[in-house]
Structures are given as structure tokens and as C-alpha cells.
């Protein structure tokens, strides 16, 4: 199979795409966020200009392009496969304002209890729809009572066949009661999104400290998987604070990131380890554990996702150690009442 080089102007980004792969799929795999909607050739949201090279759509011409657009050099990267090296003109999505908010039906395709009080949910959108988002953003699940519950997306954009949610059980929490006691695979859920400003600042090379509290791990999982897909080599320290070992519900995954990538380190911190945990790692509050390792945050980006009290503690204490407030990114919001 022949591999071709794709260049995106004006940013001059490069990635490889094989002759039978859609250009958009290859871009997303490499962590390059080109705009898109349906990924099926019908909405036109991915339309870009072909500056150089040849492409094919295989057997079927996509419906979202008029003859005039095709003649004018417009192509649909969600369907176009390169037949030579290709140069396109497109604007990479790096800000939330570039992304349309959608209201869509989805189906629960898979549910898996990740630990005693966290349920993983895999949602599938209709075949003609995809949700464009930045890793780390969240969606609202629209409930029958007219209220909304917000959940971070745990998957990265390149891995968007299913939208992944990690729902923690809260005693009396309306949505979590449904998820743990009633919901079955194939249930239909209406969702809206994406929302939120908790996403990777792509243009920084600073050492980035990611701090997860409980299921605040979900959006950080999405961001780190995005960084790995993109080959982002900035130094990453991931601290995951939880009560006991069973609450580190994707401990093996986080460990594998650190084992496979020299620039990533993973430090779990337990606040209430139980005897059978036989815990030799860090204990206490996660922000205090970080302060044992770092005393200067002036040259670091901080990404904190978890309960408001955790984010407030980080904010207050790290400021005393030189943190630039503008480089603290958090999604404490979604942990508030609506997250139940």
C-alpha cells in the first residue's frame, strides 16, 4: 500500500495517509483537528481546498459537493483518498468557538463497571453523525425531566467511533441511580455538546502537570491519548488522587503510558488506602503530594480535573509557589451538582 504525504497550509502541518485511507481519518489519527461533521460525505462541514495533488473518492462521488465546488478545487477530506502527495488549505480547530454545538440522539452500545462505583458507558451516534470536539471537553446528557447532566468525554477525537463516559455513583444522584439501577445497553440518550475549556493548549511546550481527582481522570485520559496520538513530547506528570487502590479504576492504563513513553510519569496518590492495598506509594491530599515533588510552578502548565475543593486547594497553594494563574486549566464545574 502506498503512503502519501499530506501537507496542511497555511500551518504547514504534515502527516502520512495511505492510498485507501480518508485524509480526514489520517489527520485525526495524527491528532490534527481538521473540521468535520458527519464523516460520511453528506454534510459538507469538512470541505477544504485542494492546492496540489490528486485524490479519489473510490466508487461514489460524495453528495455534499456541487459540481461547481468540485471544479473550483474543493474536496471532502472525510471521503477523499490521496493518489499522490497532497497539499490542502484548511484551518486547524484549536479553539472551542470553531466547533459547532450539536444536539444528537445516541445509543448506549456498551456498559462496563470499571470499579465498585464507576460505570463506563460507550455511546454511538447515528451513522451519519460524528461529534467534533477537543480532547478534554464535555457533553450534556439531556434527561427526561428536562435537566442536563454533564460528563467529560474520556476518549480522544481520533478515537471517536464511540463517545466514552465515566459515571460515578452518587447516592441519590438522579442520573447515576438510572445508570447503575436501570440503564441497559441499547438505551437511547439525547446529548448536546461539546462544551468546556478544559483542553490541551497545543502551542505550549512547557512541562504539564495533570491532576485528576476520582473520575476527573476521564477528560485527562482523553487529553493524554490525544497527545500520544499526536506525538506531543512535552514532559507530562500525571497525579491521580483517589481514596483507595480500587478507586484508581484505570491504573494499568496510566501505568502503561508511563512505561511506553519516557516523557510521561504517573504518580497515584491515595488518601485512605486500606490494609489490603499494601500501599507503598504517596498518601494524603493530591496537591500536597505534588508539593513534595515540585516547588516552582512558574514554568509549568497545570491541568486539574476533579472536585471543586481539590481545584481550589491547587489554586491557592500553587500560587504561593509561582504558578501563573492563567496557566491553570480546570474543569471543576462539571463535578458540581449537575454531574450527578
Q: How far is the CB of 55 from ligand FES (least distance, A)?
A: 13
Q: How far is the CB of 139 from ligand FES (least distance, A)?
A: 19
Judge contact between 305 and 152, C-beta under 8 A: yes
β-pair partners for 234? none
Task: Compute the distance between CA of residue 179 and CA of residue 119 in angstroms, rounded to an integer.
Answer: 8
Q: How far is the CB of 132 from ligand FES (least distance, A)?
A: 9
Q: Kindly report the CA angle at 129 between 165 and 80, in degrees rounded to 5?
A: 120
76 versus 121: smaller Cβ distance to ligand FES: 76
- How many C-beta neighbours within 10 Å does residue 24 have? 23
Q: How far is the CB of 2 from ligand FES (least distance, A)?
A: 23
Q: How far is the CB of 101 from ligand FES (least distance, A)?
A: 16
> β-pairing, 207-213 with 236-242?
parallel
128 versus 298: smaller Cβ distance to ligand FES: 128
Judge contact between 228 and 261, C-beta under 8 A: yes
Residues that bind ligand FES (CB under 6 A): 36-39, 41-46, 64, 76, 78
β-pair partners for 6? 15, 86
Closest CA to 301 of 160, 202, 217: 202
Ramachandran region of residue 220, left (φ > 0), alpha (ψ -120 to 50) or beta? alpha
Q: Which residue is nearest to ligand FES (CB)?
A: 78
25 versus 312: smaller Cβ distance to ligand FES: 25
Q: How far is the CB of 31 from ligand FES (least distance, A)?
A: 18
29 versus 235: smaller Cβ distance to ligand FES: 29
131 versus 211: smaller Cβ distance to ligand FES: 131
Annotate 191-213 with DSSP letters as a single string.
Answer: EEEEE-S-S--TT--SEEEEEEE
Q: How far is the CB of 188 from ligand FES (least distance, A)?
A: 23
> Which residue reads 444528537 in cell numbers?
104
55 versus 121: smaller Cβ distance to ligand FES: 55
Task: Compute the distance between CA of residue 10 and CA of residue 91 in angstroms, rounded to an integer.
Answer: 8
Q: How far is the CB of 140 from ligand FES (least distance, A)?
A: 23
34 versus 289: smaller Cβ distance to ligand FES: 34
Burial track 138-166 (b if 16+ CB lie within 10 A, e otherwise): bbbbbeeeeebbbbbbbbbbbbbebbbbb
Task: Compute the distance between CA of residue 115 and CA of residue 242 in angstroms, rounded to an integer.
Answer: 12
Judge contact between 157 and 225, C-beta under 8 A: no
88 versus 290: smaller Cβ distance to ligand FES: 88
Amino acid at each position: 500500500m502506498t503512503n502519501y504525504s499530506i501537507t496542511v497550509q497555511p500551518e504547514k502541518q504534515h502527516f502520512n495517509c495511505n492510498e485507501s485511507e480518508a485524509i480526514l481519518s489520517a489527520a485525526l489519527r495524527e491528532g490534527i483537528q481538521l473540521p468535520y461533521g458527519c464523516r460520511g460525505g453528506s454534510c459538507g462541514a469538512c470541505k477544504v481546498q485542494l492546492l496540489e495533488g490528486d485524490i479519489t473518492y473510490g466508487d461514489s462521488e460524495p453528495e455534499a459537493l456541487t459540481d461547481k465546488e468540485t471544479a473550483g478545487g474543493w474536496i471532502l477530506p472525510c471521503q477523499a483518498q490521496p493518489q499522490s502527495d497532497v497539499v490542502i488549505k484548511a484551518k486547524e480547530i484549536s479553539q472551542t468557538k470553531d466547533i459547532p454545538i450539536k444536539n444528537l440522539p445516541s445509543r448506549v452500545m456498551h456498559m462496563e463497571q470499571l470499579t465498585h462505583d464507576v460505570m463506563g458507558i460507550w455511546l454511538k451516534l447515528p451513522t451519519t453523525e460524528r461529534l467534533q470536539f477537543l480532547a478534554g471537553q464535555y457533553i450534556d446528557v439531556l434527561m427526561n425531566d428536562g435537566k442536563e447532566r454533564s460528563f467529560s468525554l474520556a476518549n480522544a477525537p481520533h478515537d471517536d467511533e464511540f463517545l466514552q463516559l465515566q459515571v460515578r455513583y452518587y447516592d441519590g444522584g438522579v442520573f447515576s441511580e438510572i445508570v447503575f439501577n436501570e440503564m441497559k445497553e441499547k438505551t437511547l440518550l439525547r446529548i448536546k455538546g461539546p462544551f468546556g475549556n478544559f483542553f490541551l493548549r497545543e502551542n505550549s511546550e512547557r512541562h504539564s502537570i495533570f491532576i485528576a481527582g476520582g473520575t476527573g481522570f476521564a477528560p485527562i485520559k482523553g487529553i493524554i491519548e490525544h497527545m500520544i496520538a499526536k506525538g506531543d513530547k512535552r514532559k507530562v506528570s500525571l497525579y491521580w488522587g483517589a481514596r483507595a487502590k480500587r478507586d484508581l479504576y484505570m491504573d494499568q492504563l496510566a501505568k502503561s503510558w508511563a512505561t511506553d513513553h519516557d516523557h510521561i510519569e504517573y504518580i497515584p496518590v491515595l488518601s485512605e488506602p486500606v490494609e489490603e492495598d499494601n500501599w507503598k506509594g504517596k498518601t494524603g491530599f493530591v496537591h500536597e503530594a505534588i508539593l513534595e515533588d515540585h516547588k516552582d510552578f512558574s514554568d509549568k502548565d497545570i491541568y486539574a480535573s476533579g472536585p471543586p475543593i481539590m481545584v481550589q486547594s491547587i489554586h491557592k497553594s500553587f500560587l504561593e509557589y509561582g504558578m501563573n494563574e492563567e496557566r491553570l486549566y480546570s474543569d471543576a464545574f462539571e463535578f458540581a451538582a449537575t454531574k450527578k
